[in-house]
Amino acid sequence: MYKYNGLLVHQSQDEQGILEIIEEKGVRSLHFGSSPKQSSMLLDEPNRLYSPYARAMMAWQLFKEKPEKLLMIGLGGGILAKYYLYHFPKCLIKAVEYRKTVVKIARSHFGLPLDPRLKVIIDDGGQYIRKKSRQQTDLHDLLIIDAFDQKGLAEPVKQQAFFDDCKNLLSEDGILVVNLWSTDKSLFEEIAWYLGRSFNWRVLFLPVRKRGNIIGFAFSENMPQITVKQLKTRAAQLENQYQIEFPKFIRDFKRHNREIFNQAIR
């Protein structure tokens, strides 16, 4: 059976709705009962980041060395979690996913391994962030938010309090990375305002070329100072190491953040 221009290889349903896996031209994708792809993986190169938005979410590497403690809100197909396990062997990862069925699919169809460095928590991401923020006993140097449902961006991400709580969970030099959807301009502007207020406008936005995603980056107060020259040198090194278009990210950062670029990176 064909669906969304590809071969339907799996379909199931839980209390939150339909989950489908589609294969097309060597790419396996997870869908939540609609055409937008939640996760995509190259079948021949499962440890490579295929989706442009997933590669753009790695642009934090321009500003920070390898992470030690990572918190992910939204697991999806587990593509990013698997990538971190593969490339950052000393990184400890917590991933919060609302749907238990999604975790099962990440393991059965996208190769997410059972690994002692990865702890998967079945919980509402917003509630988890709020609870941990009150405790402030477990800080992270990288917090990645990629939380969508069949309707779009998850509801907790649309609230000022959510980003205030996220800031409380970051270390002094931590970075928050959030995947946003730009087609709803008013919602994007609202969330951009929330990010700015929570992080004292130390924020940058990276539109994903030819896609509807915009990746937001927010920085804690004590992020190490870095110059544009250092960024360019680091981008070339990272591109060679990871085969990700880091030099393009710098150009897009400067183009789309003219007024706040220097403020954000000092």
Q: Which domains does the chain have, with CATH numbers?
A: 51-265 (3.40.50.150)
| pLDDT the model gives residue 148 | 74
146: three-class secondary structure by DSSP = coil
Strand pairing category for 69-73 and 92-97: parallel
182 falls in which pLDDT band (50, 70, 90)? low
- 211 or 87, which is more confident: 87
The pLDDT assigned to 107 comes to: 97
Q: What is the mean pLDDT of the chain?
A: 91
- Residue 188's pLDDT band, with cuts at 50, 70 and 90, is confident
| pLDDT (tens digit per residue) in 110-153 | 999 999 999 999 999 999 999 999 987 779 999 999 987 666 67
- Which helix (H) or strand (E) covers residue 55, if one does? helix 52-56
Residue 53: the pLDDT is 94
pLDDT at 244 over 90: yes
pLDDT of residue 259: 74
pLDDT at residue 222 greater than cutoff 90: no
pLDDT of residue 68: 95
Catalytic residue among 141, 146, 165, 252: 146
49 near 81, Cβ under 8 Å?
A: no
Task: Give CA–CA dist 264/206, Å, rounded.
Answer: 13
Contact status, residue 40 vs residue 211, Cβ threshold 8 Å: no
More confident residue, 135 or 22: 22
Residue 175: how many CB atoms within 10 A of its CB? 24
Q: Where are the alpha helices (DSSP H) in 117-157?
A: 125-135
pLDDT band at 65 (very low <50, low <70, confident <90, very high): confident
Average pLDDT for 39-59: 95
Contact 126/153 with Cβ under 8 angstroms? no
Distance from C-alpha of 91 to C-alpha of 40, rounded to nearest angstrom: 23
165 catalytic? Reply is no
Distance between alpha carbon 49 and the CA centroid of its chain, in Å?
A: 12
Residue 194 has pLDDT above 80, yes or no: yes
Residue the block writes with tokens 């393991």: 107
Quick: pLDDT tens for 88-109. Answer: 999 999 999 999 999 999 999 9
Alpha carbons 165 and 115: distance in angstroms, whole number? 28
Mean pLDDT of 218-243: 91
Q: What phi, psi does 173 have (nearest 5°)?
A: -115, 25
pLDDT band at 183 (very low <50, low <70, confident <90, very high): low
Percent of the chain at pLDDT exceeding 90: 74
Taking the model in full, what pTM does it have? 0.93
Judged against a pLDDT cut of 80, whether residue 263 lies above it is answered with no
